[in-house]
């Protein structure tokens, strides 16, 4: 189920502006990869190029190769909608659909794509996804209440449940805890650990303790100067990055001696 | 925490610096001045000056007196405040004058014919007293309904295109022309519809659907604008969430964006209907008037409430009073319908807005 991602010489543009340059990395299945780095260095942009969300920005484009289990997602005959069905995404701010109930939010991936499924199967799927997202016990009595009516941390777990309900191989998380309090953050981090055996997870975070806690591998992005493209400076096991990084810039960043 | 202690001298200083004697007018003074001003203005009006001039005199007198007194007692800052208060209040009252006057006149003169016959009879064969506007009510409902049927799909799809698909210059041009169309004189819309049908069916043609086309020319820009504004309010995060779930764009728009904005769009549509339901000129040109019930909008003239009110007034017959009563009653009925539509719009926006709390 979990898949392996191979990125080769990826350049990412906004119109003429080169935002990220020359990224190559290998992401192993059933692992958590954290991307860290200062604001504006292109971590989120890179993450969004992994499921072809980047190209939704007008005039944005990508050069290079991203292969998932060997299949180039930017190939000529590839439908971005297919790619996104394999790669789920969780965003910075919880974004449940306000017109839908908790139940409908979890089932959204099935219902909105027009897939046919029996009522009982959907019931099962919703329960399974909510259980995987550690949310079932908190919402099982109000599944048909609006999705926006629960706390921010619960909403974010609802969004994770919604993302895993379509059974993706890869889960991308763009600063999933930055709008949450420490307790909800703890809940999400526990959840990431629980999901690890089944998914390939890539998480962008500004919180270095979080990267150290949840990830197996860490990639450090940086940019030389404002207006310069961001680059992947160093990527290694999390233990190595946080104890003995090869690059001076990485060490400066993780020890807080930056700038 | 230690309580700060002050020397006696400091306390003295504080008292003299921060607590000057603050003199304000007692609250009854402005009312007393107002009463006096009304008395003077009223007297002037009774003495032969017109009522309007009396009102103006009252306001000016009140403002002058209150400001002078306030300046002497309270100082220039408070006096300015009173000037502005007076200006704002009188502007508000001035804006209310036509509204209340129209409402009062229409209600007092229109209620006379608010009877069963008025709602259940047409004007067929009616000379003098009696008769009703059943034919005009059905006509207005059918023509406005048809206009809505034409405008809502066109306007909504245009709004969706502008927000979700259009890029760059074309969108800007369309938005500009939609804005121009909102200001189009209604008679022009009527002439357009007439010319359109005359080209196809020959001159002299009169049909209900022509009126619907004319009204939809007026309605479409309003629907486009309100759809556009409401769709813009839908957070982009919801679109991204749908995309990330591998939802194709058209389904995303249909199942996520439009339902989220639906309350606002429905409100906009209802207000657009209220805006066109009282239009007279375009219907006069395209639909004309008839005395009998016509339920086929594709054949012949139809009566509508505004046009029938207009004709009752223009051709009252002898004696004129029953016709004028019918005109006032039709006007009252229109006002009631528009008010009901506005209430419906409010109800829709309250009831169907996406709920945040659970």
Residue B356 has pLDDT above 60, yes or no: no
Contact in structure between A105 and A147 (CB atoms under 8 Å)? yes
Q: What is the mean pLDDT of residues B70-92?
A: 89
Interface probe with A: pick from B241, B248, B254, B258, most Cβ of A within 10 Å? B241
Cβ of A108 and B245 within 8 Å? Answer: yes
**CATH number reported for the structural domain that contains residue B166 in this entry:** 1.10.3720.10
Of B67, B89, B112, which one is at a domain's C-terminal end? B112
Higher pLDDT, B13 or A238: A238
Please identify every stretch of chain A with a pLDDT value under 70, giving residue numbers as ranges.
Answer: 1, 258-259
* Domain edges within chain A: 5-96+170-254
The residue in chain A having the minimum alpha-carbon distance to the alpha carbon of residue B237 is A95
B236 and B325 co-located in one domain: yes
CA B35 to chain centre: 34
d(C-alpha A126, C-alpha A166), whole Å:
10
Of B87, B112, B137, which one is at a domain's C-terminal end? B112
- Assess if residue B74 is contained within a domain: yes
B190 and B321 co-located in one domain: yes
Asked if the C-beta of A141 comes within 8 angstroms of chain B's C-beta atoms, the answer is no
Cβ count near B289 (within 10 Å): 22
Question: Can you list the positions of beta strands (E) in chain A?
Answer: 5-14, 17-27, 32-36, 60-68, 71-72, 87-90, 170-174, 200-204, 217-223, 230-237
pLDDT in tens, B313-343: 998 888 888 999 999 999 999 999 999 999 9
Interface probe with A: pick from B244, B261, B358, most Cβ of A within 10 Å? B244
Q: How far is A15 from chain B (nearest CA, A)?
A: 14
pLDDT in tens, B235-251: 999 999 999 998 999 99
The residue in chain A having the minimum alpha-carbon distance to the alpha carbon of residue B249 is A81
pLDDT-above-90 percentage for chain B: 54
d(C-alpha B341, C-alpha B116), whole Å:
22
Residue B16 has pLDDT above 70, yes or no: no
pLDDT class for B88, splitting at 50, 70, 90?
very high
B38 and B182 co-located in one domain: no
d(C-alpha A149, C-alpha A151), whole Å:
7
Mean pLDDT of chain B: 88
Q: What is the mean pLDDT of residues B23-40?
A: 86
d(C-alpha B222, C-alpha B272), whole Å:
6
d(C-alpha B166, C-alpha B186), whole Å:
29
B274 and B347 co-located in one domain: yes
Higher pLDDT, B15 or B96: B96
Minimal Cβ distance to A98: which of B248, B252, B260: B260
Asked if the C-beta of A197 comes within 8 angstroms of chain B's C-beta atoms, the answer is no
* Chain B residues in contact with A89 (beta carbon < 8 A): 240, 244
Give pLDDT, residue B316: 86
d(C-alpha B265, C-alpha B349), whole Å:
9
The pTM for the full model equals 0.81
* Chain B residues in contact with A96 (beta carbon < 8 A): 241
DSSP annotation of A207 reads: -
Give pLDDT, residue A237: 93
Span A5-96+170-254 CATH architecture: 3-Layer(aba) Sandwich (3.40)
d(C-alpha B275, C-alpha B277), whole Å:
6
B98 and B167 co-located in one domain: no
A34 bridge partner residues: A203, A218
- Residues sharing a CB contact under 8 Å with residue A113, sequence separation 6 or more, in sequence order: A85, A166, B245, B246, B247, B248, B251
d(C-alpha B99, C-alpha B107), whole Å:
12
- Residues sharing a CB contact under 8 Å with residue B245, sequence separation 6 or more, in sequence order: A84, A85, A88, A108, A109, A112, A113, A162, A163, A166
The residue in chain B having the minimum alpha-carbon distance to the alpha carbon of residue A58 is B167
B319 prior amide bond cis, ω within 30: yes
pLDDT in tens, B136-157: 999 999 999 999 999 999 999 9
Minimal Cβ distance to B243: which of A53, A58, A99: A53
**Domain count of chain B?**
2
3-state secondary structure (DSSP) of residue A203: strand
A11 bridge partner residues: A63
Interface probe with B: pick from A48, A82, A98, most Cβ of B within 10 Å? A98
Of B57, B86, B112, which one is at a domain's C-terminal end? B112
B196 and B47 co-located in one domain: no
Cβ of B240 and A53 within 8 Å? Answer: yes
The residue in chain A having the minimum alpha-carbon distance to the alpha carbon of residue B247 is A113
- Assess if residue B17 is contained within a domain: no
Residue B2 has pLDDT above 60, yes or no: no
pLDDT-above-70 percentage for chain B: 92
* Chain A residues in contact with B165 (beta carbon < 8 A): none
Domain that holds residue B61: 23-112
């Amino acid at each position: 189920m979990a898949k392996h991602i191979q990125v080769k010489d990826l350049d990412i543009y906004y119109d003429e502006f080169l935002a990220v340059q020359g990224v190559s990395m290998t992401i192993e299945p059933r692992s958590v990869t954290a991307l860290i780095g200062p604001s504006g260095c292109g971590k989120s942009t890179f993450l969004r190029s992994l499921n072809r969300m980047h190209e939704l920005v007008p005039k944005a484009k990508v050069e290079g190769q991203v292969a998932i289990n060997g299949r180039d997602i930017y190939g000529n005959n590839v439908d971005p909608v297919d790619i996104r069905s394999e790669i789920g995404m969780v965003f910075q701010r919880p974004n449940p659909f306000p017109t839908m109930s908790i139940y409908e939010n979890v089932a959204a991936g099935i219902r909105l794509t027009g897939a046919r499924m029996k009522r009982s199967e959907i019931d099962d799927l919703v329960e399974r996804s909510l259980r995987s997202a550690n949310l079932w016990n908190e919402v099982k009595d109000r599944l048909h209440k609006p999705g926006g009516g629960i706390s921010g941390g619960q909403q974010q777990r609802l969004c994770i449940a919604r993302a895993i309900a379509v059974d993706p191989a890869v889960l991308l998380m763009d600063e999933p805890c930055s709008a949450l309090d420490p307790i909800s953050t703890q809940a999400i981090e526990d959840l990431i650990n629980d999901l690890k055996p089944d998914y390939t997870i890539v998480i962008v975070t500004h919180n270095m303790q979080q990267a150290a806690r949840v990830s197996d591998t860490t990639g450090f992005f940086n940019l030389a100067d404002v207006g310069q493209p961001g680059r992947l400076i160093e990527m290694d096991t999390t233990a190595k990055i946080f104890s003995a990084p090869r690059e001076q810039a990485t060490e400066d960043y993780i020890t807080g001696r930056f700038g | 925490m230690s309580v700060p202690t002050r020397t006696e001298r400091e306390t003295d200083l504080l008292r003299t610096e921060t607590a000057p004697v603050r003199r304000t007018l007692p609250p009854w003074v402005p009312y007393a001045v107002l009463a006096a001003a009304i008395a003077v203005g009223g007297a002037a009006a009774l003495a032969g000056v017109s009522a309007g001039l009396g009102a103006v005199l009252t306001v000016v007198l009140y403002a002058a007196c209150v400001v002078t007194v306030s300046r002497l007692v309270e100082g220039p800052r408070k006096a300015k405040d009173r000037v502005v208060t007076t200006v704002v209040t009188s502007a508000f009252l001035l804006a209310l004058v036509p509204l209340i006057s129209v409402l009062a006149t229409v209600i007092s003169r229109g209620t006379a014919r608010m009877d069963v016959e008025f709602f259940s009879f047409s004007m067929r064969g009616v000379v003098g007293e009696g008769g009703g506007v059943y034919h005009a009510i059905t006509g207005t409902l059918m023509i406005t309904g048809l206009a809505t049927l034409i405008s809502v799909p066109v306007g909504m799809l245009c709004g969706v295109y502008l927000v979700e698909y259009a890029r760059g210059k074309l969108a800007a041009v369309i938005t500009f022309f939609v804005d121009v169309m909102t200001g189009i004189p209604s008679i022009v819309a009527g002439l357009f519809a007439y010319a359109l049908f005359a080209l196809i069916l020959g001159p002299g043609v009169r049909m209900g659907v022509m009126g619907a086309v004319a009204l939809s020319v007026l309605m479409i820009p309003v629907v486009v604008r309100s759809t556009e504004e409401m769709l813009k309010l839908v957070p982009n995060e919801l679109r991204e969430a749908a995309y990330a779930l591998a939802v194709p764009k058209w389904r995303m728009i249909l199942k996520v964006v439009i339902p989220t904005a639906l309350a606002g769009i429905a409100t906009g549509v209802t207000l657009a209907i209220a805006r066109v339901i009282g239009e007279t000129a375009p219907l006069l040109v395209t639909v004309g008037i008839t005395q009998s019930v016509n339920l086929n909008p594709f054949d012949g003239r139809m009566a509508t409430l505004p046009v029938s009110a207009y004709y009752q007034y223009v051709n009252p017959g002898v004696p004129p009073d029953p016709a004028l009563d019918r005109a006032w009653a039709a006007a009252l009925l229109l006002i009631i319908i528009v008010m009901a539509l506005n209430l419906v719009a409010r109800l829709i926006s309250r009831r169907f807005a996406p709920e945040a709390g659970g």
